[in-house]
Amino acid sequence: MPVEFQLRELALGQGKRTVEIAMKLDAIQSAAAEQFDRQSQHYGKGHVLENTRDVEDALRFIPLQPGWRALDVATGGGHTGLLLAARGCAVTLGDVSANMLERAARLASERGLGVATRQFPAEEIPFGAGEFDLVSCRVAPHHFSGPEKFVREAARVLRPGGYFLLIDGTIEDHHPEAEAWLHDVEKWRDPSHNRLRTPNTWRDWCLAAGLEIVHREVQVFQQPDLEWYFNAAATPEENRAKVREAIRSATPTVRQFMRLEETDGKISWWWQRLVLAARKAI
């Protein structure tokens, strides 16, 4: 059942104001809000996403201009949005978690950056049509209850000719065994996880929303180690045991695809990450 929620809007750098609006979240959105409210302290300084090299590389395909209006959806620790603000964009950080927004706003203030924050689920972007030049979303859509609706909403709030930047975990198309294994592992580690989507799925959603793909690639990178992976989500011990068993019993196909390995007593594997840039039709 949907649950009552409060949206809060804060503007930093030009005074601070708060607006509370009653909203309803579905079960998946509520679980994500609760999880990231609890774990928000892990997503700021020192988190793996603080390294924004992937965003910087992706921006080579977007003609970013100072003064652009940018919306960073599911901003988390705020790292992508703050990079955009540092490049002269007028940035709004959006997230379903109030605690995430407060910490991201604090980090912006520490860096002398003026940003606005707005709390909302990604599937219900509370802005009018054509209000933004760029909508970004990084390593978050696997938590969304309606990622296809999110793409439609992102396209709606973009001006004609505006850009959409998506970075998220993925599994290459046509690898169902590895996809099923990783889905189980992610769900045990963090029950607020919904599902990773394949590159072709994201492509089809963008095209259906009127977004032309200008760049798409799948990158691979190694997770730090299994214990870091658990600690970032405060995984319960019984679920950690399930993940360890899934690793122990993984088939040769999964082991090869995920590059499961143990080095100096640390278990890790290689994630796939989709980087996609698209442009709204003029």
* Distance separating alpha carbons of residues 77 and 151, to the nearest angstrom: 21
**Cα angle for residues 189, 39, 35 (degrees, 5° grid):** 60
Q: Are residues 132 and 10 in the same domain?
A: yes
Q: Are residues 86 and 147 in the same domain?
A: yes
Please tell me the predicted confidence (pLDDT) of residue 100. 86
Q: Are residues 149 and 234 in the same domain?
A: no
Q: What are phi and psi of 176, to 5 degrees?
A: -65, -35
Tens of pLDDT, residue by residue, the chain (282 residues) = 343 334 444 444 433 433 344 457 878 777 666 665 555 454 545 555 668 899 999 999 999 999 999 999 999 999 999 999 999 999 999 999 888 899 999 999 999 999 999 999 999 999 999 999 999 999 999 999 999 999 999 999 999 999 999 999 999 999 999 999 999 999 999 888 899 999 999 999 999 999 999 999 999 988 888 988 898 888 999 999 999 999 999 999 999 999 999 888 899 999 999 999 999 999
Q: Write the pLDDT tens digit of every residue in 27-67.
A: 877 766 666 555 545 454 555 566 889 999 999 999 999 99
Q: Are 41 and 62 in contact (CB under 8 A)?
A: no
- Give how many domains the chain has, as a whole number: 2
Q: Are residues 209 and 244 in the same domain?
A: no
Kindly write down the DSSP assignment for every residue of 128-195, as one continuous string.
Answer: -TT-EEEEEEES-GGG-S-HHHHHHHHHHHEEEEEEEEEEEEE--TT-HHHHHHHHHHHHHH-TT---
* Other C-beta atoms lying within 10 Å of the C-beta of residue 133: 22
Please tell me the predicted confidence (pLDDT) of residue 26. 78
Q: For residue 205, give its domain range.
A: 3-222+274-280
Q: What are phi and psi of 179, to 5 degrees?
A: -60, -45
Q: Are residues 95 and 137 in the same domain?
A: yes
Q: Are residues 58 and 100 in the same domain?
A: yes
Closest CA to 34 of 117, 143, 122: 143
Q: Are residues 216 and 159 in the same domain?
A: yes
In one letter, which amino acid is 152? R
State the chain's mean pLDDT as an integer. Answer: 87
pTM of the model: 0.85
Q: Are residues 7 and 134 in the same domain?
A: yes
Please tell me the predicted confidence (pLDDT) of residue 132. 98
Residue positions counted in the chain: 282
CATH of the domain at 173: 3.40.50.150
Please tell me the predicted confidence (pLDDT) of residue 12. 41
* Other C-beta atoms lying within 10 Å of the C-beta of residue 91: 29
Q: Write the pLDDT tens digit of every residue in 172-185.
A: 999 999 999 999 99
Distances (CA, A) of 155 to 16, 128, 138, 164, 225: 29, 11, 16, 8, 36
Q: Are residues 7 and 59 in the same domain?
A: yes
Q: Are residues 182 and 235 in the same domain?
A: no
Q: Are residues 173 and 259 in the same domain?
A: no
Q: Are residues 215 and 238 in the same domain?
A: no
